[in-house]
């Protein structure tokens, strides 16, 4: 077992041991190889460098209470990767190959798999990049698919902590009818600059509006949006947001907990009516928001409006219940009634 302080793990590109790699060339994938070199060789003209032909997935594996190792909803990640690869005109591994390479990555890095009970997990990062050397703007069936991993903490520590978000009036995340609903690297490139300004001002997250009219809430820079009103879980219906697997899971858990779910356009004005608001994604499950400010220009001081949610930095009861239920299923402490866990044989 690696010498890691599991309790203080953050969410970083921790260097583990094994990366599992396959190449697509001449119409087929090579037999996946486990390598410990942590480096790839690319032609300088490779698509990925010039035209951002790159996409990825993110999922977690957990050491459960009974000692078994479970990947959480990998079928959803395999399907989303296929959808994204189609959008980029790339070849994509089959779901079975996707699972096998994720499993091989876990097995090749067993000493980095956090033990049960500390809130930590193994984050798997499947990556698909275009390799073909070219100048023309045409898809080409040549790619590398690699699965790497890193042990990660519970992101915000043992307990949910609320944080602040800002709506930047001078930045958009996704163009109407653009690439916003696909997990492509390029969607994240244009968030680095606004994130830098947001973080400098103490905001943990950016909340983006729909870019055509700026009247509706889309999503955060790294997670989907949900709001709680009474017994309702409300989340935006928009074709510019990433179809979050955590959001889908939360919607089911909300129903299981006797809540109602509404997936529909969420007008900006409605922010004033939510009792709880959060971001949701694999890394965090839930990031509760204490407040969301509107800034016409992110780099300037003016805040035109501030929406407050749970007072005193408390985390709302519904967000807490949803979070606890998902974490309990992931840790094998609550029955996996929907069959979300896929178990990995340690070999």
Ligand X SMILES: Cc1ncc(COP(=O)(O)O)c(C=O)c1O
Strands (E), 44-142: 54-56, 59-63, 69-72, 121-130
Nearer CB in complex with ligand X: 120/245: 245
Q: For 201-230, what is the HEC assignment?
A: CCCCEEEEECCCCCCEEEEECCCEEEEEEC
For the CB of residue 118, give the shortest distance to ligand X in the complex, in Å: 21
Say whether residue 246 binds ligand X (CB under 6 A). Answer: yes
Binders in 306-345 for ligand X, by CB under 6 A:
none
Say how far apart CA 103 and CA 90 lie, in whole Å.
23
Among 223, 235, 238, 330, which residue interacts with ligand X (rule: CB under 6 A)? 223
Nearer CB in complex with ligand X: 210/247: 247
Nearer CB in complex with ligand X: 245/298: 245
For the CB of residue 281, give the shortest distance to ligand X in the complex, in Å: 3
Number of residues that bind ligand X (CB under 6 A): 13
Among 103, 172, 205, 219, which residue interacts with ligand X (rule: CB under 6 A)? 219
Say whether residue 244 binds ligand X (CB under 6 A). Answer: yes
Say how far apart CA 217 and CA 224 lie, in whole Å.
10
Q: Determine which one of 25, 60, 65, 183 is catalytic.
A: 183
Say whether residue 287 binds ligand X (CB under 6 A). Answer: no
Q: Are 93 and 29 in contact (CB under 8 A)?
A: yes
Say whether residue 281 binds ligand X (CB under 6 A). Answer: yes
Say whether residue 242 binds ligand X (CB under 6 A). Answer: yes
Say how far apart CA 209 and CA 267 lie, in whole Å.
9
Binders in 45-104 for ligand X, by CB under 6 A:
58
Say how far apart CA 310 and CA 327 lie, in whole Å.
22
**Among 171, 180, 261, which residue's Cα sits nearest to residue 208?**
171
Name the one residue in this structure whose structure tokens are 């979300």.
340
Q: Is 25 a catalytic residue?
A: no
Query: Judged by CB under 6 A, which stretch of 81-89, 105-113, 155-163, 278-286 contacts ligand X?
Result: 278-286
Say how far apart CA 97 and CA 33 lie, in whole Å.
12
Say whether residue 210 binds ligand X (CB under 6 A). Answer: no
For the CB of residue 240, give the shortest distance to ligand X in the complex, in Å: 10
Strands (E), 110-252: 121-130, 143-152, 163-168, 205-209, 217-220, 224-229, 232-236
For the CB of residue 187, give the shortest distance to ligand X in the complex, in Å: 7
Query: Judged by CB under 6 A, which stretch of 11-19, 64-72, 122-130, 222-230 contacts ligand X?
Result: 222-230
Nearer CB in complex with ligand X: 22/223: 223
Say how far apart CA 235 and CA 156 lie, in whole Å.
22
Which DSSP symbol is given to 291? E
Say whether residue 245 binds ligand X (CB under 6 A). Answer: yes
Say how far apart CA 225 and CA 241 lie, in whole Å.
9
Nearer CB in complex with ligand X: 18/238: 238
Q: List the catalytic residues.
A: 183
| Contact residues for ligand X, defined by CB under 6 A | 58, 219, 222-224, 242, 244-247, 281-283
């Amino acid at each position: 077992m690696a010498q890691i302080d599991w309790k203080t793990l953050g969410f970083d590109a921790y260097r583990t041991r094994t990366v599992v790699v396959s190449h697509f060339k001449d119409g087929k994938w090579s037999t996946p190889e486990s390598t410990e070199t942590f480096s790839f060789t690319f032609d300088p003209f490779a698509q990925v460098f010039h035209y951002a032909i790159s996409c990825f997935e993110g999922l977690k594996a957990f050491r459960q209470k009974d000692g078994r190792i479970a990947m959480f909803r990998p079928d959803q990640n395999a399907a989303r990767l296929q959808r994204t690869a189609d959008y980029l005109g790339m070849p994509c591994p089959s779901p079975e190959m996707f699972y096998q390479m994720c499993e091989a990555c876990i097995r090749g890095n067993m000493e980095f798999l956090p033990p049960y009970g500390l809130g930590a997990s193994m984050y798997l990062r499947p990556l698909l990049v275009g390799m073909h050397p070219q100048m023309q703007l045409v898809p080409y069936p040549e790619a590398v698919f690699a699965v790497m991993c890193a042990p990660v903490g519970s992101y915000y520590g043992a307990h949910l902590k609320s944080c602040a978000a800002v709506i930047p009036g001078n930045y958009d995340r996704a163009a109407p009818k653009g690439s916003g609903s696909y997990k492509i690297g390029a969607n994240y490139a244009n968030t680095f600059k606004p994130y830098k300004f947001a973080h400098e001002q103490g905001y943990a997250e950016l909340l983006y509006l729909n870019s055509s009219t700026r009247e509706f809430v889309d999503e955060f820079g790294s997670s989907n949006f949900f709001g709680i009103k009474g017994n309702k879980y409300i989340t935006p219906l928009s074709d510019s947001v990433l179809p979050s697997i955590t959001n889908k899971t939360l919607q089911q858990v909300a129903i299981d907990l006797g809540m109602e779910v509404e997936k529909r356009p969420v007008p900006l004005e409605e922010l004033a009516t939510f009792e709880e608001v959060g971001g949701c994604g694999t890394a965090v499950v839930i990031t509760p928001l204490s407040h969301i400010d509107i800034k016409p220009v992110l780099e300037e001081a003016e805040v035109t409006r501030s929406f407050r949610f749970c007072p005193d930095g408390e985390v709302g009861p519904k967000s807490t219940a949803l979070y606890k239920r998902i974490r309990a299923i992931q840790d094998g402490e609550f029955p996996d009634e929907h069959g979300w866990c896929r178990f990995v044989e340690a070999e």
